[in-house]
A = this chain, B = another copy of it.
Amino acid sequence: MALKAVKTKVSLADKAYRELKRKILDNELHSSQQMTEAEVSVLLNMSRTPTREAMLQLANEGLIELKPRHGMRVKPISIDDMQEIYEILTGLESTAAALCATKGLTEEQLSLMHDAVDTMNKTLDQDNLTEWAKADEQFHRYLVEFADNNRLTSLVSNFIEQSHRFRMLTLKMRPKPTNSNKDHLDVISAIELRDSEKARLIHHQHREKSGRMLIALIKEVGLNHI
């Protein structure tokens, strides 16, 4: 929220925003539920004004949709939506990879990225997909953060949130991500070499492959949306 970066005291509107977002991302609210402003106010135990401000914010971020006179519902994410989100994330993360190579990373930053891939290797050996996903997520987070572009970081965060539920749903359905780790190591190598075009291309191919595989999986399972 626009104000939260400046203040120490959290407003009710901000609390409403965070609580609703948490419920959405943790699947405590679903796209089958339609809730009016009044109902959401009761749920959050506050008046309509902060609730309404929070709902408008979430709608603008693409996490909910507002239907006049019918309130809000969690925005269903269709396959087409996921396609769009992946296209953008692919472009943005590839840009981040290229920027990392162009700007150069510190030894500490490179070390952190290597650590994330090491953890991915270990958890893959242990067949621990949940921990693997966390490490994978961490790698992607580092990539974007180290590109040193605040707007890029915000954008990627927002799109990752939009696709979060989809990705969590499909985590166990995916084949074993044996190539991910190698792709990530290749990206780190390209960054170390300061080869921005190579870093971009490798990560782009990685994301495209992942995205394609995920979309195919979803179609196979017959999921139109969640």
- A residues neighboring B (CB under 8 Å): 1-3, 6-7, 53, 56-57, 59-60, 62, 65-68, 84-85, 87-88, 90-92, 94-95, 98-99, 149-152, 155, 159, 197, 201
Given contacts A7-B68, A95-B91, contact A149 B84 (CB under 8 A): yes
Cα distance A60–B99 in the bound complex, in angstroms? 25
Most buried by B among A56, A66, A68, A91: A91
A87 partner, pick from B3, B149, B201, beta carbons under 8 A: B149
Q: Chain copies in the assembly? A: 2
Please, which residues of chain B bring their CB within 8 A of the CB of A87? Answer: 95, 99, 149, 152
Please, which residues of chain B bring their CB within 8 A of the CB of A2? Answer: 56, 59-60, 65-66
Cα distance A87–B99 in the bound complex, in angstroms? 8
A53 partner, pick from B53, B66, B98, B151, beta carbons under 8 A: B53
Given contacts A68-B7, A91-B92, A91-B94, contact A150 B60 (CB under 8 A): no
